[in-house]
A = this chain, B = another copy of it.
Amino acid sequence: MELNKFLPYQLSVLSNKISAGIAKYYRQQYNISVSQWRVLALLSDKGNQTAKELTIKSQMDKVRVSRTMKSLEERNFISQQACQKDKRARRYKLTKEGDALINEVKPKAIAFEKRLLETLSTIQIDELQNCLQALNSQVDKITEEI
């Protein structure tokens, strides 16, 4: 058994390499982290979400989301509003500044992904998506057994 043939290892190396590449770039250019980027992207897609909702969609844990919301608010990229249904929660949305930022970063992210995928054919991309999807469900299945 060779480590570099081991799928979990391969995925980890690839994912870390990609994330590190993106993170470094966005940190340098805009001083935002991957967590911040994720939350901004989600709020850009749909506003007025609670931390709980963002936790689920971002797949980050609640501590990390809580800290991300705090930092984004301090930097004036998001604003909050009381949640009438549930006094524990708040609804967040992008400020004008947050919106401007994400609209500057987003095209870069899309361009990065495009460059990444240009090495694959359309069929390969489709098939890759299927595989990732299938693997995701499978991990869930396996880990809930353990």
Contact = CB atoms under 8 A, between A and B. Distances in A.
Given A11-B14, A132-B10, A42 B138 contact: no
Q: Majority SS of interface residues in chain A?
A: helix
A143 B18 CA distance: 9
A21 interface: yes
Number of copies: 2
Interface size class of A (residues with CB under 8 A): 35 or more
Contacts of A135: 14, 18, 116, 119-120
Interface of A: 1-4, 6-22, 24-25, 34, 38, 41-42, 45, 57-59, 106, 109-110, 112-113, 115-120, 124, 127-132, 134-140, 142-143, 146
